[in-house]
Amino acid sequence: MKLVAGNSNLALANAIAGYLDVPLCKADVRRFADKEIFVEIQENVRGEDVFVLQSTSFPANDNLMEMLILVDALRRSSAKRITTVIPYFGYARQDRRTAGRTPISAKLVANLITEAGSDRVLTIDLHAGQIQGFFDIPTDNLFAEPVISKDIMDHYTSNGPLAVVSPDVGGVVRARAIAKRVDAPLAIVDKRRDRPGESEVMNVIGEVDGMSCLLVDDIVDSGGTLCNAADALLSMGAKEVSAYITHGVLSGGAVTRIAGSNLKELVTTDTIETTEAVKNAHNIRIVTVAGLLGEAIMRTALEKSVSSLFA
C-alpha cells in the first residue's frame, strides 16, 4: 500500500498515515511561476495499491486539478490500482439542474476523476447520495455517523433530555440515523430559502421544549441556516442548541457569525483543513475522521467489507 497526499489537507493525511503506520509517499507537488501545477512521484509505485488523499476544498479548483494530476502521474507510473480518497467532495452541491442552462458539475467532476485514471473513489457524507451513481467506477460513500455519535455520547448524554434536529427536510435521513444511535427523538426545522446563501426559518416540527438540541447536517458554509435554526429552537423553549457538521466549509464571515450566535457549540470534522480563525473560535470544536478513513483504506486494500463499519 502507498499513500500519496496533495496539499489540501496535510494534517488529516498525516493522521491517516499515522493510523495505518504507513508513511506518506514522497511526492513533489508544486507550482510554476504562473501557478501551473507540477507533480513528480519520487518513489517507485509500479504494481502498488495507491491511495491519493485530497479534499476539493478551498481553493476548490486548484485542489481538484492537483488531485487529477496526481492520479495521472500515478497511472503513468504503472500503479496497479489507484483509489482517490476525497474526504470532502466539493462539487456535490451541484448535483442537478436547478434552472435552465445550468450545469451538473458533480457529474462533470466524476467524469474527470474517472478519465484521469482512478479505479475507485472513497469519500465521506456526499451532499447527495445519488452522486455515487455519477461514477462509472466503484464508489464508497462513508458516513461520519460513528464519529459524531461517539462524541455526542461523550459530551451530551449527561446534559439531560436530548433532541436531534435536522435543519431542513433534506437532512432528515442523516439526522434520524444519528438520533437512533444516541436514542434521542427527532425534530425538523422547516425553512424557506429565498436566494442562495440566505435562509428564513419558518417552523419547528417536533418537541424541543426543555431539551438540549443538536442540529445535524453535512455542510456548514455561510452559517446562516444554523444560526437561524438555533434562534428558532430557543424560541420554542429549547434549553440550549449545539450543532454537529461533517464538512466545515465556513466561507466568508461564517466563523464570526457563528461565534456571535446563540449556538453553544459547533462541532465539525477535519475533512477540510482547519483554518486559524476556526482554531481561535471559542465555540467551534474539531473531531477527527482519520481513524474512520484509515480503517476504510485498510479494508479496501485487504479486500474486506467497508459497509460493516456502519453496522
Contact between residue 281 and residue 255 where contact means Cβ atoms under 8 Å apart: yes
Torsion sign across C-alpha atoms 280, 285, 291, 292: negative
Q: Is 107 a catalytic residue?
A: no
Query: Catalytic residue among 2, 80, 180, 191, which?
Result: 191
Cis peptide leading into residue 59 (ω within 30°) = yes
Residues annotated as part of the active site:
191
